[in-house]
């Protein structure tokens, strides 16, 4: 702070009343004369009085601030989630403190520490790729501190969380490819330590199994980096050899799909005629590339909205999430575009 902000005391002094009177007048407490109220409010207005939220936090042991831990802000999906969080927070009078971990565990831990120092009322978390043990979260949960996880699921019993149905999303995507007549479908998978990656892989496997196709482990390739270059290289190598060449790709991520698409083009393979392609996440660019990329859309904004709504309920103790833990699973939507339609 910096501004010579007027306080309740200033108003009280000027009006020759006590600070309690001013405090009560400002909040329309019963038992204050209309005349006093009028004078107080008038002066408050004139002095541009603004309650000091910090003092209030201290007094009430409540800060109306929630912390958000996110791996990377520069990520279409996450920025959408943040947007949803911010909307609901704002309209409920809450502030949002944002920390990005850059996928690092130490950042995650120290960010949480700072936020706790700042007396946040609750925490929304999508933890880092490095996070494999969850003590720093479960300790807090044991103390009844409100936490809602989103997108990435911790291995903590009864953790309240919001995710999308990754299994179903992947299943639908691969089923769609099969219906289009593709047979040898590659899966460019995510880092195997993330639950979302596992779920997507399982969905892929289920669709194959249902179609009576035996899964070929050599067609499941991990692309943990999630950048174009990585999947470009992987794809190029995989499709170079004409013999027994795959005819479709299900990528765990649109960026990965984009890299694959470039690799296919560099090999003069046509999409969707020669190779079908489906991504994941519906990044903003996906509809703009050529051919437009089929993808599984995750409701990022809604994830954010849902997560913070639940968090606020926990904070206000409107619902007892302790006795009735909640796992919300939101539906994905398969967006069929040109890259996977050949019939």
Nearer to DNA, 63 or 180 (CB): 63
Rounded to a whole number of angstroms, the minimum distance from the CB of residue 59 to DNA is 4
Cα 211-217-223 angle, rounded to 5 deg: 110
Residue 303 and residue 234 in contact, taking contact as beta carbons nearer than 8 Å: no
Q: Crossing angle of helices 105-117/135-142, nearest 10°?
A: 30
Residues facing residue 249 across a β-bridge: 186, 277
How far is 216 from 204, CA to CA, in rounded Å?
12
In the sheet where 220-222 sits, what is the strand order? 220-222, 185-189, 248-251, 276-280, 294-297, 333-335
Residues facing residue 164 across a β-bridge: 330
Instruction: Give the residue, chosen from 98, 215, 269, 326, that forms a contact with a copy of itself under the rule CB under 8 A.
Output: 98
Residue 45 and residue 93 in contact, taking contact as beta carbons nearer than 8 Å: no
Rounded to a whole number of angstroms, the minimum distance from the CB of residue 293 to a copy of itself is 9
Size of the site for a copy of itself (CB under 8 A): 66
Nearer to a copy of itself, 25 or 115 (CB): 115
How far is 336 from 343, CA to CA, in rounded Å?
13
**Binding positions for a copy of itself, 27-56, rule CB under 8 A:** 50-55
The yes or no reply on residue 114 touching DNA (CB under 7 A) is: no
Nearer to a copy of itself, 2 or 243 (CB): 2
Q: Crossing angle of helices 8-15/19-26, nearest 10°?
A: 110
27 binds, among a copy of itself, DNA, none (CB under 5 to 8 A by kind): DNA
**Binding positions for DNA, 18-47, rule CB under 7 A:** 18-21, 23-27, 31-33, 35-36
Residue 257 and residue 285 in contact, taking contact as beta carbons nearer than 8 Å: no
**Binding positions for a copy of itself, 234-293, rule CB under 8 A:** 255, 258, 261-262, 265, 283-286, 288-290
76 binds, among DNA, a copy of itself, none (CB under 5 to 8 A by kind): a copy of itself
21 binds, among a copy of itself, DNA, none (CB under 5 to 8 A by kind): DNA
343 binds, among a copy of itself, DNA, none (CB under 5 to 8 A by kind): none
DSSP secondary structure letter of residue 285:
G
Rounded to a whole number of angstroms, the minimum distance from the CB of residue 95 to a copy of itself is 5
Which whole-number Å values give the CA distances from 206 to 84, 93, 203, 284, 339, in the listed order? Answer: 32, 45, 5, 29, 22
7 binds, among a copy of itself, DNA, none (CB under 5 to 8 A by kind): DNA
Instruction: Give the residue, chosen from 3, 45, 48, 61, that forms a contact with DNA under the rule CB under 7 A.
Output: 61
Binding site for DNA (CB under 7 A): 5, 7-9, 16-21, 23-27, 31-33, 35-36, 51-52, 55-56, 58-61
């Amino acid at each position: 702070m910096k501004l010579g902000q007027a306080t309740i005391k200033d108003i009280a002094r000027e009006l020759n009343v006590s600070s309690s009177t001013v405090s009560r007048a400002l909040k329309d407490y019963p038992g204050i004369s209309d005349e006093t109220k009028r004078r107080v409010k008038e002066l408050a207005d004139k002095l541009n009085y603004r309650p000091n939220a910090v003092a209030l936090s201290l007094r009430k042991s409540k800060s109306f601030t929630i912390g958000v831990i996110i791996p990377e802000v520069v990520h279409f999906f996450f920025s959408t989630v943040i947007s949803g969080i911010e909307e609901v927070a704002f309209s409920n009078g809450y502030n949002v403190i944002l920390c990005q971990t850059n996928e690092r565990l130490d950042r995650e831990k120290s960010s949480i520490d700072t936020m706790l120092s700042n007396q946040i009322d609750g925490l929304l978390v999508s933890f880092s790729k490095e996070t494999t043990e969850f003590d720093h979260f479960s300790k807090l949960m044991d103390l009844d501190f409100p936490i809602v996880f989103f997108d990435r699921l911790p291995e903590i019993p009864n953790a309240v969380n919001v995710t999308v149905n990754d299994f179903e999303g992947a299943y639908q995507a691969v089923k769609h490819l099969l219906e289009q007549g593709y047979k040898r479908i590659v899966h460019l998978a995510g880092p195997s330590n993330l639950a979302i990656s596992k779920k997507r892989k399982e969905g892929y496997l289920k669709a194959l199994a249902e179609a009576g196709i035996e899964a070929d482990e050599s067609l499941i390739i991990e692309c943990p980096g999630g950048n174009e270059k990585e999947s470009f290289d992987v794809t190029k190598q995989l499709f170079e050899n004409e013999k027994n060449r795959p005819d479709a790709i299900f990528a765990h991520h649109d960026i990965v799909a984009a890299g694959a698409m470039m690799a296919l083009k560099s090999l003069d393979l046509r999409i969707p005629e020669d190779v079908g392609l489906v991504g994941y996440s519906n990044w903003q660019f996906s509809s703009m590339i050529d051919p437009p990329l089929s993808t599984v859309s995750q409701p990022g904004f809604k994830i954010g909205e849902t997560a913070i709504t639940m968090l606020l309920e926990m904070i206000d103790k409107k619902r007892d999430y302790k006795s009735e833990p909640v796992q919300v699973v939101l539906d994905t939507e398969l967006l069929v575009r040109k890259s996977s339609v050949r019939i």
